[in-house]
Amino acid sequence: MLVVDRFEENIAVCEKEDKTIVKIPKYKLPLQTKEGDFITLDEKGVYVIATEKTEEKKQEIHERFHKLFK
């Protein structure tokens, strides 16, 4: 699984779980892919957004941020 760190022109700069960087051409990703999305390859070798993992991580970040300002 990869997380999209940022976009540089037509390249998505992604980070693997071991913190190594992978660069993927944007055309290989779903159009709605955003920074912070988790992506994975499906059984056909097509990149898809791991929606559940992305939402879990967003919620975790939101909770951490909220705790800081309580």
9-37 residue pLDDT tens:
999 999 999 999 999 999 999 999 999 99
Name the band, by pLDDT with cuts 50, 70 and 90, for residue 64. Answer: confident
- Rounded to two decimals, the pTM is 0.83
How far is Cα 55 from Cα 70, in angstroms, rounded to an integer? 23
**Residue 25 β-bridge partners:** 11
The answer to whether 12 and 21 are in contact (CB under 8 A) is no
Tell me what the mean pLDDT of segment 34-58 comes to.
93
The pLDDT > 70 percentage for the chain reads: 99
